[in-house]
Amino acid sequence: MLKVGDKAPDFKLSADDGKNYSLKDFAGKKIVLYFYPKDNTSGCTAEACDFRDNIKLFNKKNAVVIGVSKDSIESHIKFKSKFELPFLLLSDETLKSLKDYLVWKEKSLYGRKYMGIERTTYVIDEKGKIKNIYNKVKVDGHIEEILNNI
């Protein structure tokens, strides 16, 4: 179980810009690492656009916003382009980081159980420690909550 104060699990994931990134690539910055279920779905699009529309406020707080899902890089590139997202989208098709961050969970929709990503945001401080965890995120008001506690 991850908790505030723990060292954030490292990752090595491919991004929409063609590069691979790990946690240490962002040392010295705050990281808003948000996990979302799927590109181009209504909730995920609203969340991504909220981050996009407030990116300058995150930048002022020396914070980088990074989105992670299991979608392919190709899907991320289209999603990023379509909504002009000014931050990295990382792909975890192997599910390793999704499991390390405890966001790969059993979900239920109309009585059908399936495995998927629970919308979750981790705020990681400049030294790689977890500062805040937001589980079962509701998109409305989420950005303000993060900005008030970063």
Helix (H, G, I), strand (E, B) or coil at 108: strand
Terminus-to-terminus CA distance in the chain, angstroms? 22
Cα separation, 48 vs 85, whole angstroms: 7
The DSSP line for 20-85 is EEEGGGGTTSEEEEEE-S-TTSHHHHHHHHHHHHTHHHHHHTTEEEEEEESS-HHHHHHHHHHHT-
Q: In the numeric block, which tokens belong to residue 41?
A: 């779905």
**Catalytic residue at 49?**
no
Please pick, among 32, 44, 66, 98, the residue that the annotation labels catalytic: 44
Q: In the numeric block, which tokens belong to residue 81?
A: 């382009």
Cα separation, 57 vs 46, whole angstroms: 18
Cα separation, 11 vs 114, whole angstroms: 25
**Active site amino acids:** 44
